[in-house]
Amino acid sequence: MLRSAIYDLDGLLIDSETVAYHVDRDILRYYGHDFTLAHYAEKYSGRTILRNMTDFVEEYALPITVEEGIRQYEEWEAEYVRRGIPLKTGARELLDYLKEQGCLISLASSSIEERARTILTQNGVTGYFDFFTFGPEVKNGKPAPDIFLKALEKTGVAAEDSLVLEDSDAGVRAAVAAGIPVACVPDVAQPGDETLRMATGVFDSLLQVMEWLKTR
């Protein structure tokens, strides 16, 4: 019986991966470099800002430090956040269904808390969540299992009675490493075949996840 659902945020609950690409593209264009969606999806999607900016500074020989690049990213992304980042298709319907079933709902996101809560509030879904875990609370980012182990600890629910909802390769691997079943709804970057085989199920949308849960 499913007693706990643990949500990723970016690319799973909200349609933010395209925003991340646009911010990265805008920064690189500012310094005179082209940056395609295909290249972003192949190498950079689903990773932390720190990891991406470290690679950008090296790969494109940017005339800034990693720290300066991260500040620039956060400032430029904040404008997109102010405009509003929408929920993914089926997000609200699945949240409603899980609540109706008496399931605990958690958010486990690599994002900083202020940004995540702002986006949830803008979309009117903060009240669905019983627990929150954010990147700065754990030592190691995905694909290490730390963030999902921390989220699981907060719920007090056994791993086998929980389900992680993820979109990225690193996220699926993190859930598997934590010993928690995982439903994968790929976004901009398709996880590798090996990773997809690790998932409990692979779905085209959150609506499809909801229909699958109804049959369990």
Residues catalogued as catalytic:
8, 10
Residue 148: other Cβ atoms inside 10 A: 29
Question: What count of residues does the chain have?
Answer: 216
- Rounded to whole angstroms, the Cα distance separating 159 from 145 reads 12
Tokens of 207: 């609506």
Structure-token match 């808390």, residue found: 113
Residue 109: other Cβ atoms inside 10 A: 24
CA gyration radius, the chain? 17
In angstroms, the Cα distances linking 99 to 5, 176, 204 are 10, 24, 22
User: Which amino acid, residue 165?
Assistant: L
C-alpha closest to that of 40 among 60, 18, 58, 59: 18
C-alpha closest to that of 178 among 128, 129, 108, 102: 108
Partners of 105 in beta bridges: 5
Rounded to 5°, the CA angle 23-24-29 comes to 100
